[in-house]
Amino acid sequence: MLTRIDHIGIACFDLDKTVEFYRATYGFEVFHSEVNEEQGVREAMLKINETSDGGASYLQLLEPTREDSAVGKWLAKNGEGVHHIAFGTADVDADAQDIRDKGVRVLYDEPRIGSMGSRITFLHPKDCHGVLTELVTSATEH
């Protein structure tokens, strides 16, 4: 069962400049940063708040490390902005299968490793009214 908005992914050309904007404008600080070589991104997670299920909600800022990454291609086509929305779940495998059984295309056969050691998968935006949707089980939940 989906329990929260885990994060909203925002694609950007310059991660440091974008982090500074969110820090100076809203007071959000970097909670975690990493480079995900598999996905070809450098990212910063800005914690917004804690949630009632023990998780948190974040803004995930994403800068491509290579032009051929999914975020790099998306930025070239769309420019900076909201890239995806992610919902938290205690069991990404079960929820992905349940959603797949309802006719929504799940992009990965098996969940992959995401930010902060989480397990993730994505749902096809054409099946989700134009929104790239991610399902996330945080590392503390698996």
Q: 48-76: b or e for each residue (b if 16 or more CB lie within 10 Å)?
A: beeeeeebbbbbbbbbbbeeebbbbebbe
Active site (annotated) includes residue 43: yes
**Vertex 56: Cα angle to 111 and 44 (nearest 5):** 70
List the catalytic residue out of 20, 29, 43, 142.
Answer: 43
Active site (annotated) includes residue 84: yes
Active site (annotated) includes residue 7: yes
List the catalytic residue out of 39, 63, 83, 84.
Answer: 84
Active site (annotated) includes residue 134: yes
Active site (annotated) includes residue 142: no
Q: Both ends of the chain: CA-CA distance in Å?
A: 15
List the catalytic residue out of 39, 60, 63, 83.
Answer: 60
List the catalytic residue out of 7, 39, 63, 83.
Answer: 7
For the annotated catalytic residues, the residue numbers are 7, 43, 60, 84, 134
